[in-house]
Amino acid sequence: MVTIKDVAQAAGVAPSTVSYVLSGSRKISDATRAAVQAAVDELGYHPNAGARSLRSTRTGVLALALPLPARGYLPVGGRFMYGLSEAAGQLGYLVLLVTPPGEEDPDAGLERAARSRFADAAVIMGVQMEDPRIDAMRALDFPVALIGRPADESAAPWTDLDWDEAALVAVRALHEAGHKRVCYLATVEEDVRARRSYSVRGIRGAERAAAGLGTSVDVCHSTGDPAELFGRLDARLDSAEAPTAFAVQHPAAIPGILRHLAARGIEVPRDVSLVAVGSFPEDLGGLDVTRVELPVARMSAAVTRLAADAVEAAAPGTPAGGATPHTLIAPHLIRGATVAPAP
Protein backbone atom coordinates (compact mmCIF):
# COMPACT_ATOMS: atom_id res chain seq x y z
CA MET A 1 0.00 0.00 0.00
CA VAL A 2 1.26 3.46 -0.91
CA THR A 3 1.36 5.83 2.06
CA ILE A 4 2.05 9.49 2.49
CA LYS A 5 5.56 8.57 3.59
CA ASP A 6 6.27 6.89 0.27
CA VAL A 7 5.15 10.00 -1.55
CA ALA A 8 7.18 12.24 0.74
CA GLN A 9 10.29 10.17 0.21
CA ALA A 10 9.82 10.09 -3.56
CA ALA A 11 9.34 13.85 -3.65
CA GLY A 12 12.12 14.58 -1.15
CA VAL A 13 9.86 16.44 1.31
CA ALA A 14 8.23 15.82 4.67
CA PRO A 15 4.95 13.90 4.94
CA SER A 16 3.25 16.99 6.31
CA THR A 17 4.18 18.87 3.17
CA VAL A 18 2.49 16.22 1.05
CA SER A 19 -0.59 16.59 3.18
CA TYR A 20 -0.56 20.36 2.74
CA VAL A 21 -0.16 20.09 -1.00
CA LEU A 22 -3.14 17.77 -1.19
CA SER A 23 -5.40 19.80 1.06
CA GLY A 24 -4.33 23.14 -0.39
CA SER A 25 -4.52 24.65 3.08
CA ARG A 26 -1.06 26.16 3.02
CA LYS A 27 1.04 28.13 0.57
CA ILE A 28 3.50 25.83 -1.18
CA SER A 29 6.27 26.79 -3.61
CA ASP A 30 5.65 25.78 -7.20
CA ALA A 31 8.71 23.56 -7.26
CA THR A 32 7.65 21.62 -4.17
CA ARG A 33 4.09 21.31 -5.33
CA ALA A 34 5.17 19.98 -8.70
CA ALA A 35 7.51 17.43 -7.13
CA VAL A 36 4.80 16.20 -4.78
CA GLN A 37 2.20 16.07 -7.52
CA ALA A 38 4.55 14.08 -9.70
CA ALA A 39 5.18 11.59 -6.92
CA VAL A 40 1.45 11.28 -6.21
CA ASP A 41 0.69 10.56 -9.86
CA GLU A 42 3.66 8.30 -10.26
CA LEU A 43 2.77 6.15 -7.28
CA GLY A 44 -0.99 6.37 -7.69
CA TYR A 45 -1.33 7.65 -4.16
CA HIS A 46 -4.78 8.02 -2.58
CA PRO A 47 -4.98 8.97 1.10
CA ASN A 48 -6.22 6.18 3.36
CA ALA A 49 -9.86 6.87 4.14
CA GLY A 50 -9.75 5.42 7.62
CA ALA A 51 -6.69 7.38 8.69
CA ARG A 52 -8.05 10.55 7.23
CA SER A 53 -11.41 10.25 8.91
CA LEU A 54 -9.86 9.26 12.22
CA ARG A 55 -7.72 12.35 12.20
CA SER A 56 -9.99 14.91 10.60
CA THR A 57 -13.44 13.62 11.63
CA ARG A 58 -14.54 13.89 8.01
CA THR A 59 -15.31 10.78 6.04
CA GLY A 60 -16.47 12.19 2.72
CA VAL A 61 -19.45 9.85 2.92
CA LEU A 62 -23.18 10.46 3.12
CA ALA A 63 -25.34 7.72 4.62
CA LEU A 64 -28.56 7.14 2.71
CA ALA A 65 -31.26 5.80 5.00
CA LEU A 66 -33.58 3.70 2.84
CA PRO A 67 -37.17 3.05 3.82
CA LEU A 68 -38.04 -0.57 4.49
CA PRO A 69 -38.58 -2.19 1.12
CA ALA A 70 -40.91 -4.62 2.87
CA ARG A 71 -43.85 -4.05 0.57
CA GLY A 72 -41.72 -4.93 -2.44
CA TYR A 73 -39.38 -3.02 -4.58
CA LEU A 74 -39.81 0.71 -4.92
CA PRO A 75 -38.74 1.97 -8.32
CA VAL A 76 -38.47 5.45 -6.91
CA GLY A 77 -35.95 4.27 -4.34
CA GLY A 78 -33.66 2.94 -7.02
CA ARG A 79 -34.01 6.11 -9.01
CA PHE A 80 -33.00 8.22 -6.03
CA MET A 81 -30.00 6.05 -5.28
CA TYR A 82 -28.66 6.77 -8.75
CA GLY A 83 -29.49 10.44 -8.53
CA LEU A 84 -27.93 10.84 -5.14
CA SER A 85 -24.81 8.92 -5.96
CA GLU A 86 -24.29 11.20 -8.92
CA ALA A 87 -25.07 14.44 -7.12
CA ALA A 88 -22.93 13.41 -4.15
CA GLY A 89 -20.03 12.55 -6.43
CA GLN A 90 -20.19 16.07 -7.83
CA LEU A 91 -19.64 17.44 -4.34
CA GLY A 92 -16.90 14.95 -3.52
CA TYR A 93 -19.04 12.61 -1.43
CA LEU A 94 -19.68 8.90 -1.69
CA VAL A 95 -23.01 7.36 -0.73
CA LEU A 96 -23.39 4.56 1.80
CA LEU A 97 -26.63 2.56 1.79
CA VAL A 98 -28.19 1.95 5.16
CA THR A 99 -31.07 -0.50 5.24
CA PRO A 100 -33.17 -1.04 8.33
CA PRO A 101 -32.02 -4.37 9.77
CA GLY A 102 -35.54 -5.38 10.75
CA GLU A 103 -39.08 -4.31 11.48
CA GLU A 104 -38.69 -3.86 15.21
CA ASP A 105 -35.98 -1.24 15.15
CA PRO A 106 -36.19 0.86 12.01
CA ASP A 107 -33.32 3.17 12.78
CA ALA A 108 -30.78 0.74 14.22
CA GLY A 109 -28.76 0.69 11.03
CA LEU A 110 -28.73 4.45 10.78
CA GLU A 111 -27.81 4.87 14.42
CA ARG A 112 -24.90 2.50 14.03
CA ALA A 113 -23.68 4.33 10.93
CA ALA A 114 -23.85 7.62 12.79
CA ARG A 115 -22.28 6.46 16.06
CA SER A 116 -19.49 4.62 14.28
CA ARG A 117 -18.87 7.63 12.07
CA PHE A 118 -19.23 5.79 8.83
CA ALA A 119 -20.52 9.03 7.35
CA ASP A 120 -20.59 12.78 7.90
CA ALA A 121 -24.34 13.15 7.53
CA ALA A 122 -27.45 11.16 6.79
CA VAL A 123 -29.87 11.64 3.91
CA ILE A 124 -33.25 10.28 4.93
CA MET A 125 -35.67 8.84 2.37
CA GLY A 126 -39.31 7.98 2.80
CA VAL A 127 -39.73 10.70 5.39
CA GLN A 128 -42.74 10.42 7.67
CA MET A 129 -44.70 13.42 8.92
CA GLU A 130 -43.30 12.78 12.38
CA ASP A 131 -40.16 10.84 11.67
CA PRO A 132 -38.38 9.23 14.63
CA ARG A 133 -35.15 9.11 12.67
CA ILE A 134 -34.90 12.90 12.79
CA ASP A 135 -34.97 12.97 16.57
CA ALA A 136 -32.65 9.98 16.80
CA MET A 137 -30.06 11.79 14.72
CA ARG A 138 -30.49 15.06 16.54
CA ALA A 139 -29.88 13.27 19.83
CA LEU A 140 -26.55 12.18 18.39
CA ASP A 141 -25.77 15.63 17.00
CA PHE A 142 -25.56 14.00 13.62
CA PRO A 143 -26.32 16.21 10.61
CA VAL A 144 -29.23 15.18 8.40
CA ALA A 145 -31.07 16.27 5.29
CA LEU A 146 -34.45 14.93 4.30
CA ILE A 147 -35.97 13.84 1.03
CA GLY A 148 -39.47 14.72 2.12
CA ARG A 149 -41.15 17.53 4.00
CA PRO A 150 -41.94 16.66 7.60
CA ALA A 151 -44.77 18.12 9.65
CA ASP A 152 -42.30 20.20 11.62
CA GLU A 153 -40.55 21.98 8.78
CA SER A 154 -37.81 23.33 11.01
CA ALA A 155 -36.91 19.89 12.37
CA ALA A 156 -34.21 19.44 9.73
CA PRO A 157 -33.22 20.70 6.27
CA TRP A 158 -35.45 19.11 3.64
CA THR A 159 -36.29 19.10 -0.03
CA ASP A 160 -39.49 17.95 -1.65
CA LEU A 161 -41.90 18.32 -4.48
CA ASP A 162 -44.84 20.41 -3.30
CA TRP A 163 -47.21 17.46 -3.11
CA ASP A 164 -50.20 19.42 -1.84
CA GLU A 165 -49.85 21.64 -4.84
CA ALA A 166 -49.13 18.72 -7.18
CA ALA A 167 -52.37 17.00 -6.25
CA LEU A 168 -54.19 20.30 -6.67
CA VAL A 169 -52.68 20.88 -10.10
CA ALA A 170 -53.70 17.39 -11.21
CA VAL A 171 -57.25 17.68 -9.93
CA ARG A 172 -57.57 21.16 -11.37
CA ALA A 173 -56.54 19.94 -14.80
CA LEU A 174 -59.37 17.42 -14.64
CA HIS A 175 -61.77 19.97 -13.23
CA GLU A 176 -61.01 22.36 -16.04
CA ALA A 177 -61.73 19.61 -18.54
CA GLY A 178 -65.18 19.43 -17.05
CA HIS A 179 -64.83 16.38 -14.83
CA LYS A 180 -67.16 16.55 -11.83
CA ARG A 181 -66.39 13.19 -10.27
CA VAL A 182 -62.69 12.52 -9.82
CA CYS A 183 -61.14 9.54 -8.06
CA TYR A 184 -57.81 10.37 -6.39
CA LEU A 185 -55.86 7.13 -6.24
CA ALA A 186 -53.35 7.84 -3.50
CA THR A 187 -50.13 5.97 -2.71
CA VAL A 188 -50.16 2.39 -1.48
CA GLU A 189 -51.90 2.06 1.86
CA GLU A 190 -48.73 1.06 3.72
CA ASP A 191 -47.39 4.51 2.91
CA VAL A 192 -50.57 6.17 4.05
CA ARG A 193 -50.52 4.20 7.27
CA ALA A 194 -46.86 5.05 7.89
CA ARG A 195 -47.79 8.68 7.32
CA ARG A 196 -45.12 9.15 4.68
CA SER A 197 -45.04 12.81 3.87
CA TYR A 198 -45.86 12.45 0.17
CA SER A 199 -48.84 10.25 0.99
CA VAL A 200 -50.34 12.54 3.57
CA ARG A 201 -49.73 15.69 1.56
CA GLY A 202 -50.98 14.23 -1.70
CA ILE A 203 -54.25 13.22 -0.07
CA ARG A 204 -54.55 16.54 1.69
CA GLY A 205 -53.94 18.37 -1.56
CA ALA A 206 -56.64 16.36 -3.28
CA GLU A 207 -59.13 17.10 -0.50
CA ARG A 208 -58.32 20.78 -0.57
CA ALA A 209 -58.69 20.80 -4.31
CA ALA A 210 -62.11 19.27 -3.95
CA ALA A 211 -63.15 21.87 -1.42
CA GLY A 212 -61.70 24.74 -3.41
CA LEU A 213 -62.96 23.75 -6.84
CA GLY A 214 -66.29 22.23 -5.94
CA THR A 215 -65.36 18.99 -7.66
CA SER A 216 -66.26 15.74 -5.98
CA VAL A 217 -62.99 13.99 -5.21
CA ASP A 218 -63.14 10.46 -3.88
CA VAL A 219 -59.85 9.44 -2.27
CA CYS A 220 -58.88 5.79 -2.63
CA HIS A 221 -55.69 4.08 -1.44
CA SER A 222 -53.63 2.02 -3.84
CA THR A 223 -51.97 -1.32 -3.16
CA GLY A 224 -49.07 -3.32 -4.47
CA ASP A 225 -51.36 -6.23 -5.28
CA PRO A 226 -52.70 -5.61 -8.81
CA ALA A 227 -55.73 -7.86 -8.45
CA GLU A 228 -56.78 -6.08 -5.29
CA LEU A 229 -56.19 -2.71 -6.91
CA PHE A 230 -58.27 -3.57 -9.95
CA GLY A 231 -61.03 -4.72 -7.61
CA ARG A 232 -61.04 -1.34 -5.93
CA LEU A 233 -61.17 0.45 -9.26
CA ASP A 234 -64.00 -1.79 -10.40
CA ALA A 235 -66.00 -1.01 -7.27
CA ARG A 236 -65.73 2.68 -8.16
CA LEU A 237 -66.47 2.22 -11.83
CA ASP A 238 -69.49 0.05 -11.12
CA SER A 239 -70.99 2.43 -8.61
CA ALA A 240 -73.87 4.73 -9.42
CA GLU A 241 -71.62 7.77 -9.17
CA ALA A 242 -68.77 6.36 -11.25
CA PRO A 243 -65.80 8.72 -11.63
CA THR A 244 -65.01 10.08 -15.06
CA ALA A 245 -61.38 10.76 -14.21
CA PHE A 246 -58.51 9.51 -12.10
CA ALA A 247 -55.55 11.28 -10.54
CA VAL A 248 -53.02 8.59 -9.68
CA GLN A 249 -50.20 9.04 -7.19
CA HIS A 250 -48.89 5.50 -7.78
CA PRO A 251 -47.08 5.76 -11.10
CA ALA A 252 -45.78 2.18 -11.13
CA ALA A 253 -49.37 0.99 -11.28
CA ILE A 254 -50.40 3.10 -14.25
CA PRO A 255 -49.54 0.68 -17.06
CA GLY A 256 -51.54 -2.00 -15.28
CA ILE A 257 -54.44 0.34 -14.67
CA LEU A 258 -54.60 1.32 -18.31
CA ARG A 259 -54.55 -2.32 -19.33
CA HIS A 260 -57.29 -3.11 -16.88
CA LEU A 261 -59.44 -0.27 -18.13
CA ALA A 262 -58.90 -1.36 -21.72
CA ALA A 263 -59.92 -4.91 -20.80
CA ARG A 264 -63.17 -3.50 -19.43
CA GLY A 265 -63.72 -1.71 -22.71
CA ILE A 266 -62.92 1.67 -21.19
CA GLU A 267 -60.83 3.81 -23.46
CA VAL A 268 -58.54 6.56 -22.15
CA PRO A 269 -59.15 9.44 -22.57
CA ARG A 270 -62.38 8.93 -24.50
CA ASP A 271 -64.29 7.38 -21.60
CA VAL A 272 -62.10 8.18 -18.65
CA SER A 273 -59.31 10.72 -18.14
CA LEU A 274 -56.17 10.18 -16.12
CA VAL A 275 -53.40 12.31 -14.62
CA ALA A 276 -50.29 10.89 -12.98
CA VAL A 277 -48.99 12.60 -9.83
CA GLY A 278 -45.29 12.23 -9.07
CA SER A 279 -44.34 9.99 -11.95
CA PHE A 280 -40.93 9.76 -13.47
CA PRO A 281 -40.46 9.39 -17.19
CA GLU A 282 -38.86 5.94 -17.15
CA ASP A 283 -41.98 4.55 -15.58
CA LEU A 284 -44.37 4.93 -18.38
CA GLY A 285 -42.83 3.07 -21.25
CA GLY A 286 -43.32 5.82 -23.74
CA LEU A 287 -46.90 6.32 -22.72
CA ASP A 288 -47.87 9.95 -23.14
CA VAL A 289 -49.63 10.43 -19.82
CA THR A 290 -50.71 13.85 -18.58
CA ARG A 291 -48.63 14.17 -15.44
CA VAL A 292 -46.75 16.00 -12.74
CA GLU A 293 -43.30 14.48 -12.64
CA LEU A 294 -41.16 13.82 -9.59
CA PRO A 295 -38.01 15.91 -10.14
CA VAL A 296 -35.59 13.26 -8.92
CA ALA A 297 -32.44 14.88 -10.27
CA ARG A 298 -33.25 18.30 -8.80
CA MET A 299 -34.23 16.80 -5.47
CA SER A 300 -31.06 14.71 -5.38
CA ALA A 301 -28.91 17.72 -6.06
CA ALA A 302 -30.80 19.79 -3.51
CA VAL A 303 -30.64 17.26 -0.70
CA THR A 304 -26.95 16.66 -1.30
CA ARG A 305 -26.33 20.37 -1.07
CA LEU A 306 -28.37 20.58 2.13
CA ALA A 307 -26.50 17.64 3.63
CA ALA A 308 -23.12 19.11 2.73
CA ASP A 309 -24.15 22.43 4.25
CA ALA A 310 -25.35 20.67 7.38
CA VAL A 311 -21.93 19.03 7.70
CA GLU A 312 -20.26 22.44 7.51
CA ALA A 313 -22.71 23.94 9.95
CA ALA A 314 -22.02 21.17 12.45
CA ALA A 315 -18.28 21.80 12.38
CA PRO A 316 -16.93 23.39 15.57
CA GLY A 317 -16.42 27.10 15.27
CA THR A 318 -19.32 27.59 12.90
CA PRO A 319 -21.84 30.12 14.15
CA ALA A 320 -25.22 28.54 14.89
CA GLY A 321 -26.90 29.75 11.71
CA GLY A 322 -30.49 30.93 11.61
CA ALA A 323 -33.44 29.22 9.98
CA THR A 324 -33.47 25.61 8.81
CA PRO A 325 -33.11 25.70 5.04
CA HIS A 326 -35.32 23.83 2.60
CA THR A 327 -35.90 23.49 -1.12
CA LEU A 328 -39.54 23.23 -2.07
CA ILE A 329 -40.11 22.43 -5.73
CA ALA A 330 -43.22 23.68 -7.47
CA PRO A 331 -45.14 21.11 -9.51
CA HIS A 332 -45.35 21.46 -13.23
CA LEU A 333 -48.12 19.90 -15.28
CA ILE A 334 -47.05 18.14 -18.46
CA ARG A 335 -49.96 17.82 -20.82
CA GLY A 336 -50.11 14.40 -22.42
CA ALA A 337 -52.78 12.43 -24.19
CA THR A 338 -54.78 11.05 -21.28
CA VAL A 339 -57.11 13.94 -20.51
CA ALA A 340 -60.14 14.80 -22.58
CA PRO A 341 -63.29 16.82 -21.86
CA ALA A 342 -65.76 15.02 -19.63
CA PRO A 343 -68.40 13.06 -21.55
Which residues contribute to the site for DNA (CB under 7 A)?
A: 1-5, 12-17, 19-20, 22-23, 25-29, 31-32, 45, 47-48, 51-52, 54-56
Q: Which does 31 bind (CB under 5 to 8 A by kind): DNA, its own copies, none?
A: DNA
Q: How far apart are CA 28 and CA 210, in angstroms?
A: 66
3/327 with CB nearer DNA:
3
- The residue range among 85-93, 148-156, 170-178, 303-311 that interacts with its own copies, by the rule CB under 8 A, is 85-93
Q: Is 229 in the site for its own copies (CB under 8 A)?
A: yes
Q: What's the closest the beta carbon of residue 320 comes to DNA, in angstroms?
A: 20
Residue 267 near which of its own copies, DNA, none (CB within 5-8 Å, type-dependent): none
- Alpha carbons 261 and 290: distance in angstroms, whole number: 17
Of 12, 34, 78, 341, the one binding its own copies by CB under 8 A: 78
| E strands in 149-213 | 158-161, 181-188
112 interface partner picked from DNA, its own copies, none, CB below 5 to 8 A per type = its own copies
Shortest spacing between CB 118 and DNA, in angstroms: 13
Question: From the CB of 210, what's the least distance to its own copies, in Å?
Answer: 28
Between CA 336 and CA 202, with CA 208 as vertex, the angle to 5 degrees is: 60
Nearer to DNA, 56 or 318 (CB): 56
- Alpha helix positions (H), 264-322: 296-314
CA atoms within 13 A on the CB side of 247: 34
Question: Cβ(166)–Cβ(230) under 8 Å?
Answer: no
Residues in the chain: 343
Query: Which run of H or of E encompasses 247?
Result: strand 245-248
DSSP character for 128? Answer: B
Number of residues that bind its own copies (CB under 8 A): 62
Which amino acid belongs to residue 99? Answer: T
From 9, 28, 33, 96, residue interacting with its own copies (rule: CB under 8 A) = 96
Q: Which of 182, 303, 157, 278 is nearest to 236 (CA)?
A: 182
C-alpha distance from residue 151 to each of 155, 252, 325 (Å): 8, 26, 15
Q: Footprint of its own copies on this chain (CB under 8 A)? A: 1-2, 44-54, 59, 61, 66, 69, 72-75, 77-79, 81-82, 84-86, 89, 94-99, 101, 109, 112-113, 115-118, 225-227, 229-230, 252-256, 258-259, 262, 280, 282, 285-287
